[in-house]
Structure 1
Amino acid sequence: MAKTIMLQGTSSHVGKSIITTAFCRIFKQDGHKVVPFKAQNMALNSYVTKSGGEMGRAQVAQAEAAGLDPTVEMNPVLLKPTGNSCSQVIILGHPVGNMSAQEYHEGYSLNALATVKECLNTLQRRFDTIVIEGAGSPAEVNLKDNDIVNMRIAKMASAPVLLIADIDRGGALASIVGTLELLEPEERDLVKGIIINKFRGDINLLTPALEFLEKKTGKPVIGVVPHLEQLGIDDEDSVSLEDKRDGGKKDLDIAVIRIPKISNFTDFDALANEPDVSVRYVRQGESIGQPDLIILPGSKNTTEDLLYLRDNGYEREILALAANGTPIVGICGGYQMLGEEIQDPEHTESDYEKVPGLGLINSVTIFEANKLTHQISACCNNHGFLGLNFSGGDLKGYEIHMGRTQFSTPVNPAFVITNRSGEAINSADGAVSDNGLVMGTYIHGIFDNDQYRRAVLNALRVRKDLAPLNMTTDTQARKEASYDRLAQVVRESLNMNLVYSIMNDFPRG
């Protein structure tokens, strides 16, 4: 039976996902066949596996750190908030419907437990080490009866628990003591150590607090992890967007409109990692300014996010900038917004049957109940965006959308999809406006393709009378280096010998 370790937190956003990622890379480096697992995830930043299933982005990063292809068994339950305390519920990669928080927690979550257990059993047979991530806090007493992600999973997996606290936000000691106090005795016994995360300053000044904590709780402090800037590892939670600020003045200024239901915002991380690019997220009340490129990102609720643009004056600002020659890219929901109209006859996304779009592309999008999820390969044959002279195949990405886009007049497609979920096809994707300044596509991750990304950036540079750059960032190499850097810092910060001892000594179920 696989050895296990579980990382839980005193609250959300304390760094559970990142520490889990670090453990996956450390165990891989140490020669273990390791796999990540999170029973239930709530996130708008999702990913499509090779089998066409949808899962949380954090488990994708953890799988990559472990040297694995992501599979839905690593995250069997995914909740994608749609608004009004409602989420789309995705089981083993496929949606089963929209539910209110009350409907899910009181009527459905425990029904999903059998699927969670089956996935966990599968991973226990295939791997020798499982790193399990919890969610929120295990001390949320109002949710514990229907919990399928924290202590119930620790018991099911026979996993010792390490409790993580974020010291950067303050109150870490109180949150640790309070969390342990609110646990049942048998749950408290499962907690075998404490990790202090996101520390800044002189560790010697913290030592008395650590000694107090060990005496007060009877739990060893496994270590103190420093605050890490710009990890270069995919985030899953839009809360992390609050930490994403532009990197100062650079040659190219790209403005991403921060719509309320933004999804798959990691589509733009590769752009932000380029040395000549500043990516800034335009928040409510902020001006778009005069960027070199505007990006409308994906959305979990395209209709409501389109109305957000309209109600907050961003539609007017975008159209004025477009009329003055500012290029615009829309991805997935952002692509749908660029059209003339969005129709939702079955009310799959909102109460509106139809809403006018921005009118920058001659298209109409009709929402349907079925969601399309695929990994794809595509080619680009000089699609004309920015006058781009780029022709190349084997561009990688993925599709996650529920809309079908139709055109009122012939358009120049942005790409041609050549492979969808392993099946060879020939299907046009997206559109480029006649003036070459507006492009829409359903392909998430299109800017992760290094040569295409640099071609677009160089076209923007030429528009500003700047010389093209011959080199671009190797996205995959950068990711691997980031995982190694994270693993090194965490390994040096924690007593990994104690972690191994805890795992080895813990009785298997």
Structure 2
Amino acid sequence: MKAIMIQGTASDVGKSVLCTALCRIFVNDGYRIAPFKSQNMALNSYITKDGGEIGRAQGVQAEASKIDATTDMNPILLKPTGNMVSEVILHGKPFAEMDAVSYRENFVEQVMPEVRKSLRRLEAQYDLLVLEGAGSPAEINLKSRDIANMRMAHETNASVILVADIERGGVFASIVGTLMLLDEEERARVKGIIINKFRGMEELLVSGIEWLEEYTGIQVLGVIPYFDVQIEAEDSMALSSLRLKNPQLHEFEIDVAVIRLPLISNFTDLDPLFEEPDVRVRFVSSLKDLKNPDVIILPGTKNTINDYVWLQETGLAQAILQQSRKGKNIVGICGGYQMLGETILDHQTIEGENRKYTTLGLLPIETVLVNEKQTAQVKGTNYAGQEMIGFELHLGRSTPTQPIQSFICLDDGRQDGVYTEQVMGTYLHGVFQNRLFTRDFFNKIRVKKNLEEVSIEIPSDYERREQAYEMLDYHVRKHLNMEKVYELLDDSM
């Protein structure tokens, strides 16, 4: 099997997006291609067709590869719960909660046979594997238990391309420093370098690239210009770049405040809002920043109770109630939906103490936290008769305390969420990816503010994603030495 691996000099240098680009390039060139990341730490999940939970990045890369995602593509997912503890997802299912020491010292070696089984199954089905590393391969304090970087390159005999983010500054130092901290065998695996997120004149880099190639003996395969492609982000490090997606070049007609919960998860639910005309999206983590928005969104969270306690301590809980009394629209997704209800009972002490927590009371529901996680791709019809698709990923079971209008009737017969003209909540992740619903939601706010409605004609989210993958193929192919990349693939066999 041919394999190539993208590793980075640090987190958030663009590994996931470049792997996505390569997946689309290779499949467009006629290969049966699959992505792989042995161990992923992220709070943005992707639910496979059989209900398995993997990192969002590998789900996106599978889409770019024009295949269905499976748990073999990300056999281990770590979801931080706070205090150096993570939930360990093994082959798509919750396995245990572990602290960092226990995980690295006791679990990593035990789980390697499962990782190898995943690799063998993928090897049997596909021509080519695109592997993604995690963070940096040069974390010397972690290397002995690092199963996401060079160890996977050795397992698959993959050539490694090292990616550095020039936007951070110090790009040459980060590349040389990373290579210096690798041992001889690891350095020999690095066959190429990519300088990513470049802005400016490439001619100004020529002398630096010549020096780098001479000093390291490794060819720079490409300088990839910065490209704001609409590809979903993997983890919370990308939240800072989300804030820059719609800079304040003019006054926005509609102001959306997203509560930046400490353990915010699946914030990719919010991506479509940045594309909605005349809508400004702000992430808010303090009372003074809330101001007077038109819409407040409580997103998903890895720990609803802890984040609700934070909401109370910051004064944001009371402020949300005040904004609701003013008639502002309030939306809750997953954990945010639970917070909008009347109570949360945690009798199994899953997230807090064995007691009933009184919550915002804006929706007539009671939630009981249970150990069994609900994970599934779902579809159905919402309150307005619009078809909706998305996925469920939650521990709670919420029931109404009085007759309600459900947000969505799922195809399996279940009712999900609560809808009112002002406050609504749902367990449906990806709710705003349903673009007709999103346009209709904001048009109602436009009408309320005496603004002109925007046309309801809009491409589907699938069409937008496909367009993004094709644009990414064109952009990266144009700036990357693909002839050399294919030579590296031949060397990996």
Give the TM-score taking structure 1 as reference length.
Answer: 0.93
* Residue pair 1:273, 1:473 contacting (<8 A) in 2 also: no
Match of 1:450 among 408, 412, 435: 435
Give the 3-state SS of the residue equivalent to 1:426 in structure 2. coil
Alpha-carbon spacing, 1:285–1:169, altered in 2? closer, same or farther (3 Å): farther
Q: Distance in 2 between matches of 1:440 and 1:241?
A: 23
Structure 1 residue 121, shift from structure 2 partner: 1.0
Q: Give 5+ residue unaligned stretches, structure 1.
A: 382-389, 419-424
TM-score, with structure 2 as normaliser: 0.96
Q: Is the 8 A contact 2:436 2:456 kept in 1?
A: no
Helix, strand or coil for the counterpart of 2:68? Answer: coil
Map of 2:147 onto structure 1: 148
1:272 aligns to 2:271 (yes or no): no
| Alignment match, 1:260 | 262
Q: Which residue of 1 aligns with 2:486?
A: 500
Deviation at 1:147, TM superposition (A): 1.6
> For the Cα contact (< 8 Å) 2:72–2:91, is it kept in 1?
yes
Partner of 1:37: 36
* 1:84 maps onto 2:78 in alignment: no
**Could you say which residue in structure 2 is the equivalent of 1:234?**
232
Distance 1:43 1:354 in 2: 29
Aligned residues of 2:347 and 2:353 also touching (Cα < 8 A): no
**In the TM superposition, what is the alpha-carbon distance from 1:285 to its structure 2 partner?**
5.7
1:304-346 CA deviation, whole Å, 9 max, x = no partner? 1111111111112111100010010101000000112222122
Compared with structure 1, are the counterparts of its residues 215 and 351 closer, same or farther at alpha carbon in structure 2 (3 Å cutoff)? farther
Conservation of the 8 A alpha-carbon contact between 1:341 and 1:357 = yes
Q: Which amino acid aligns with 1:441?
A: T
Q: Cα distance, 1:283 vs. partner?
A: 3.3
Answering whether residue 461 of structure 2 is matched by residue 467 of structure 1, we say: no
1:70 shift after superposition: 1.6
Residues 286 and 316 in structure 2, CA contact (< 8 A), matched pair in contact too: no
Give the Cα–Cα distance (whole angstroms) in 2 for the partners of residues 135 and 284 of structure 1: 31
Contact 1:247 1:279 in 2 (8 A): no
CA distance in 1, matches of 2:286, 2:168: 24
Matched position secondary structure for 2:237: helix
Shift, 1:4, TM fit = 0.7
Residue by residue over 1:354-393, the C-alpha shift from the partner in whole angstroms, topping out at 9 and shown as x without a partner, is 3221111122211111101011111123xxxxxxxx223x
Q: Does 1:489 align with 2:475?
A: yes
Match for residue 293 of structure 2? 291
Q: Could you tell me which residue of structure 2 aligns to residue 386 of structure 1?
A: none
Give the AA of the match of 2:201. Answer: D
Q: Distance in 2 between matches of 1:138 and 1:271?
A: 35
How far apart, in 2, do the equivalents of 1:87 and 1:344 lie?
A: 19
When residues 247 and 479 of structure 1 are mapped into structure 2, their CA distance, relative to the original with a 3 A threshold, is farther
The residue that corresponds to 2:388 in the other structure is 395
5+ long unaligned stretches in structure 2: none
Say if 2:322 is the partner of 1:315.
Answer: no
Whichever residue aligns with residue 121 of structure 1, its letter is: R
Aligned-partner residue type, residue 186 of structure 2: E
Q: Which amino acid aligns with 1:378?
A: G
SS state at 1:443 partner: coil
Structure 2 counterparts to residues 86-485 of structure 1, below 5 A = 86-229=85-228, 231-245=229-243, 246-248=246-248, 249-284=251-286, 286-351=288-353, 353-381=355-383, 390-392=384-386, 394-418=387-411, 425-433=412-420, 436-474=421-459, 475-485=461-471
What secondary structure sits across from 2:204 in the alignment?
A: helix
Q: Is the 8 A contact 1:274 1:472 kept in 2?
A: no
CA-CA distance at 1:87 after TM superposition: 0.5
- The AA in structure 1 aligned to 2:454 is L
Aligned to 2:45: 46
| 3-state SS of paired residue (2:483) | helix
DSSP-derived class of the 1:369 partner: strand
Q: How many residues align?
A: 488
Structure-2 separation of matches of 1:323 and 1:275: 27
Distance of 1:438 and 1:274 partners within structure 2: 20
Specify the code of the residue in structure 1 equivalent to 2:385.
S
Judge conservation of contact 1:274–1:473 (CA < 8 Å) in 2: no
RMSD: 1.5
- Once the two structures are superposed, residues 451-486 of structure 1 have per-residue CA deviations (whole angstroms, 9 ceiling, x without a partner) of 222221211111111232223432222211211222
One-letter identity of the residue aligned with 1:451 = L
Cα drift, residue 279 of structure 1: 2.0
- Distance in 1 (CA, whole Å) between partners of 2:467 and 2:365 is 42
Superposition deviation, residue 277 in structure 1: 2.3
* Letter of the structure 1 residue corresponding to residue 449 of structure 2: K
Residue type of the alignment partner of 1:237? D
**How far did 1:205 drift?**
1.3
Shift of 1:16: 0.6
Contact 2:33 2:65 in 1 (8 A): yes
- Alignment deviations for residues 249-298 of structure 1 (CA, whole Å, 9 cap, x no partner): 33322221111111111112122212232222223465222222111100
